[in-house]
Amino acid sequence: MNRRGWHIPHPATVYLLLLLAVMLISWIGSVYAMRGIERNSDIVLRSLLDSQGVRWLVSNSVITISAAPVGNAILLLSAIGLVCKSGLWRVLCRLSAKEASSYKERVGLAMAMVVMALFAGLVVIGLCFGDRVLLGLTGTVLPSPLSDGIMLMLFLLTGLPSVVYGFATGIFRNADSVIGALLWLSPYMASLLITMLVASQLLAAFDYSGLDRIIGLGAYGRRVLELLVWWLPLPWIIVRKAKLR
């Protein structure tokens, strides 16, 4: 319960209720033999509550978490921690508001921008010159090492300038202070991991039952749904924790 008296549910709780709803709908739909058509193929709704469905749920309860973008979530939270705790975000906000900054801050910002430009230049080289190592084997961006490692690229693009700025301004004094910034949002990670565990079950159950295909979601729609289910909880968790303080 927050200060205003209304409760913001944890996203894992909401996903668990949605999972139970999918299980119930799959059972009811299988009883009435609900069917759909995808690419001229007949899709039969499968129950998650019959013997075969229960076996699937039990055997895949842990395996499905491997589909969750846990590594990307860690990189994202670490990058946010570096940008905020280094002071880089604060000085950028002050400059956008046309507030004065110190000489040390201006020098640190200039150094950070140089590092960011150099890294961006390396990415351009990897895309356009030589062996074009960041492109796929057929010269495409999707799929490619760049698209597969986009979160790592964003982490380096923001993290490296943040570290440079932090040391230039004296906010970071040693490696321990950098590690502390990386772990700044670690309290949110536990909530996010629990949510991703339930979310992986929800998405897998949705796919196993065939409910997504029966309602005509399509490949693009399923991809959009996955992105929303994986990443919507992050701002949700942050806002929820802020409201509970």
29-61: per-residue pLDDT in tens? 888 776 655 555 567 788 999 999 999 988 887
Q: What does the mean pLDDT of the chain come to?
A: 87
| Phi, psi angle pair for 194, to nearest 5° | -60, -40
108-155: per-residue pLDDT in tens? 999 999 999 999 999 999 999 988 899 988 888 888 899 889 999 999
57-96: per-residue pLDDT in tens? 888 877 888 888 888 999 999 999 999 999 999 999 998 8
